[in-house]
Amino acid sequence: MLHPYTHDPSAASYGTEAADALGIDPERVFKTLMVHVEGRLAVGVVPVSGNLDLKAFAAALGAKRALMADPAAAERRTGYVLGGISPLGQRQSSPTVIDGSALALETMLVSGGRRGLDIEVAPADLLRLTGGITAAIGTAK
């Protein structure tokens, strides 16, 4: 299900803006982050109410170290702009790790590919569509 909202260009956090604008618990709204892991880009999907644990993310992919990807590289790889990067329909697919907290939810929201649009999807469907895995990669803010 699509959830459009009016994007405020001055918003400090795209994910928190989406949760607030849609009136949805931030635990159900997930941000999509591009991560550089030992020479390749990968996707991390975590609740907007927390942060990505880079060490746990690297471990989930069998690596020792991970760093946030360069924003320009993330945009080139996905075909989306920052704040609108979706785990779905990326220009080039990347290994995807979804925080395990999603499994406790009936549905979750992820970016729909542009600022001001979220997609509501069942976690199992997102895993299937991305070929992703789950792991405890999120931390509380």
Q: Give the C-alpha distances (Å, rounded to integers) separating 140 from 51, 56, 80.
A: 6, 14, 26
**Residues 6-49: tens digit of each pLDDT:** 888 878 788 888 988 899 999 999 999 999 999 999 999 999 99
What's the whole-number mean pLDDT along residues 81-94? Answer: 94
- Look-up of token digits 């030992």: 38
Pick the CATH number of 2-140 from 3.40.630.30, 3.40.50.720, 3.30.70.920, 3.90.960.10: 3.90.960.10
Q: What is the pLDDT of residue 34?
A: 97
What's the whole-number mean pLDDT along residues 126-136? Answer: 97
